[in-house]
Amino acid sequence: MELAHYSDFAVRLVNTEEPARGKDSLTSVEVIRELFGASAQAARRATDADVTRFRSVRGRLRAVFAAADEGDETQAVDLLNSLLLEFPVSPQISGHDFRDDDGRPKWHMHLAEHPSNATAGYAAIAAMGLAVHLTEYGVDRLGLCEAAPCRNAYLDTSTNRSRRYCSDRCATRANVAAYRARKRLESTDRLHSTGRTAVSAQETSPSADR
């Protein structure tokens, strides 16, 4: 796995909460284990105590995305650096995931599981993955969905840096809302225009001159 792919760990964790809707799906050990995905061994170390710790890390990761979304690159980097310092990674050279045509391992960098606890391990992987993504692609590639009230985090991988929404569903919803708003404005403008025309016609009519 390329190191930048670990940035998905950060996105998955941040998006367990929808602040504007008052929703939080990070409520149990089972949810934490699902966040780890294929990292089954690390997931097994999760306990009830990790729920609160995961929420704390989630808030700090969301702050990174929020700073980036607001264009404050220095703040985003400072916040991410604090996570990297607190949750250091243990890199390893691995070849277990990929093989070439001759069956030989394709050596690549891999982040080893953290020996401390599930939170430390997940935070280290998420922060490192996000840091690699940020330095390779730019701070402006981190964002929060613009389709209110959704504020899910996303990583912009578009070629022209044009992504604004976390999903196709939110993009469609925002486009429909914008279309309806334009139609309402056009309707209001037509009513005002019709009213002004009627008043003007009344003022210039022969009866108005008498």
Per residue in 33-50, pLDDT (tens digit) is 999 986 667 788 899 999
Smallest CA-to-CA distance from 28 within 10, 57, 56, 54 is with 54
* pLDDT band at 133; cut points 50, 70, 90: very high
Cα of 26 vs its chain's centroid, Å: 16
**CATH code reported for the domain at 3-159:** 1.10.3300.10
User: What is the arithmetic mean of pLDDT over 18-38?
Assistant: 93
Residue type, 112: A
Classify residue 14 by burial, with Cβ atoms within 10 Å: 0-12, 13-18, 19+. buried
Does position 53 have pLDDT exceeding 80, yes or no?
A: yes
pLDDT for 196: 62
Q: What pLDDT is attached to residue 195?
A: 59
- Asked if residue 124 lies in contact with residue 133, where contact means CB atoms within 8 angstroms, the answer is no
The pLDDT of residue 1 is above 60: no
Please list the alpha-helical segments (H only) found in the chain. Answer: 7-14, 29-36, 40-44, 49-69, 73-86, 118-137, 168-204, 206-209
Give per-residue pLDDT as tens, 74-84.
Answer: 999 999 999 99
- Return the pLDDT at 3: 74
Query: pLDDT value at position 33?
Result: 94
Reported as a single tens digit per residue, the pLDDT across 60-118 is 999 999 999 999 999 999 999 999 999 998 888 877 666 778 878 878 777 776 667 89
Candidates 103, 8, 123, 9; CA nearest to 57 is 123
